[in-house]
Amino acid sequence: MDHPIRKDRIFKLLKRFDKKLINFYLDNGPYELRKKLDIKEDDLWKTVFDYLLYEKNIVKVCVKQNAEYIHEMFAEKGPEMIRKSFRLMENEYSDQWEYVMDYIGVSRGAIYEYVSNNMSDFRSLVYHGKSSKIREMLLLDRAKYDKVWEDILDMLLESVSTDAYTYSMFEHGIRMFSNLYNNGREHRSITHGTKQNVR
């Protein structure tokens, strides 16, 4: 293949120019770095990307140096967009993504801000009986995030109740509350290995 960076040279380049790679990544992100290096082969790019992830802890460095900006984007766009931006969608990068979620989403509270900023959309999902999907949308499906999910359930419950009284729609509010309670309870129990019927 005609390619400006051959595989037999990539390791030398990584060692000799890793600081430049890191700085460019921090300034422009993984997508632009790949374009800059003109790497078209996926396996070659994976070599570069994994080197930066595992050898240079590039995600942690990036998050710490750009915490304010990433927090703002997280609260505005949500966790899925942030994960895609970091190119961490594959399961093998779950640990790398969890660092972002733990540091920005949970510790700094961006996940709660995102839910609050988009409460009307989530409330609509509750009304249509789809509250169990919200946890997946927020990328909180792992058991370690059970407490975070419970906190968000409380936010949703409070919003449903407030919405019902604000618009004098008691019957509508009860329906929403019931959907959220039943789907939320079932989703919680599944994460603990049992499924309970709520009557």
pLDDT tens digits, one per residue of 62-115: 999 999 999 999 999 999 999 999 999 999 999 999 999 999 999 999 999 999
Number of neighbouring beta carbons within 10 Å of residue 75: 21
C-alpha to C-alpha distance for 47 and 45, rounded to whole angstroms: 5
Per-residue confidence (pLDDT) for residue 125, from 0 to 100: 87
Q: Which residues contact 146 (CB under 8 A, 6 or more apart)?
A: 188, 191, 192
Tokens of 169: 């729609």
C-alpha to C-alpha distance for 129 and 168, rounded to whole angstroms: 21
Q: DSSP character for 66? A: T
- Percent residues over pLDDT 70 in the chain: 75
Higher pLDDT, residue 97 or 194? 97
Q: Which residues contact 98 (CB under 8 A, 6 or more apart)?
A: 142, 144
Cβ atoms of residues 72 and 64 within 8 Å: no
The helix/strand/coil state of 181 is helix
Q: How would residue 19 be classed by pLDDT, with cut points 50, 70 and 90? A: confident
Tokens of 196: 């309970």
C-alpha to C-alpha distance for 151 and 71, rounded to whole angstroms: 19
Tokens of 61: 């460095």
Tokens of 10: 């990539």
Higher pLDDT, residue 164 or 99? 99
pLDDT at 184 over 60: no
Per-residue confidence (pLDDT) for residue 60, from 0 to 100: 94
The helix/strand/coil state of 92 is helix
Mean pLDDT of 174-184: 60
